[in-house]
Amino acid sequence: MIKKILIGLAGVVALIFLAIYLMSRPTLEADGSYSPSNLALNLATVSITDFEDIPYAKYQGERSKILVIFTEHKNLEMKNGKMFSTGNHPVEALVPMLHLKNAGFDFEIATPTGKPVVFEMWAFPNEDENVKAIYDKYKRNFEQPKKLTDFITNSFANDSSYAAVFIPGGHGVMNGIPEDKNVSKVLNWAHQSDLFTITLCHGPGALLSTSLDNQKFLYDGYKMAVFPDAVDEMTPMIGYLPGHMTLGVSERLKNLGATIVNAESDNTVCVDRKLITGASPLASNELGKLAAKTLLKELN
């Protein structure tokens, strides 16, 4: 009898482990890329965000524009050759934008070559009415963004209209943007024009572009919150990533002279001079509040 019970329990345990294994396998998409597993989605995404609808005293000045640089790439190659279905994280983009919009700012949407913005739609909070509203408001701009070179040609001389540059996160930012010389030009323009730069999670990967062509890293000595490489190393275990990333972000920034203020993928935010950063998707609401309050205090 005991032997039969033990055999039965072993079978139950085996089924449990099989179910966990199947839930933790990344999902194969039609184009051959992989989106996160069901287990990863349950652990790492939300249907409603923690966005706080704060009644800010709206900014009324001329510096009302914020340039938002998005990725246009969907698939990011892992070390094992598998492609991660990525793009910009919708919560990391839209929740800070909600705060900044409520504070009286508007947005110019750009991608490196003018191709449509790519979002990680598997992370979209489909029950969040605030997020859906701002996504719908700018949907046409996401589909027909400005080309970054056109912005450089047409807008650099008119820096009095701008308050900040915002680079949302999402693993897709690591696909070409850290190596994009035009991104470096924009960040240097923002720095020289005394504008704010706002970014979170993997978005700070864009800051690496300022060290291209043996330039001195623009943010040497800055404190910043960034998604930890150590967490990226662990996420394949639950099927969030289909493999390990070829390059991380936090250690590369640290090696260039940045001081990383967080060790976890939490809601840490940081402001150092004109750089405002956040650690992860969990920091989206806090980053939006910090950015809105900081810009209003500085510009009013």
Mind telling me the catalytic residues? 201
Nearest one of 88, 82, 89 to 45, comparing CA atoms: 89
- Alpha-carbon span 165 to 293, nearest angstrom: 16
CA distance readout (Å), 80 to 17, 60, 70, 244: 25, 51, 26, 7
Per residue in 225-236, is it b (16+ CB within 10 Å) or e — as a string?
Answer: bbbbbebbeebb
**Residue 48: Cβ within 10 Å count:** 12
How big, in percent rounded to 5, are the helix, strand and coil portions of the chain? 45, 15, 35
Map residue 266 onto helix, strand or coil.
coil
Map residue 82 onto helix, strand or coil.
coil
Map residue 260 onto helix, strand or coil.
strand
Tokens of 90: 């919708």
CA distance readout (Å), 101 to 12, 145, 158, 268: 52, 18, 21, 22
- Alpha-carbon span 26 to 171, nearest angstrom: 15
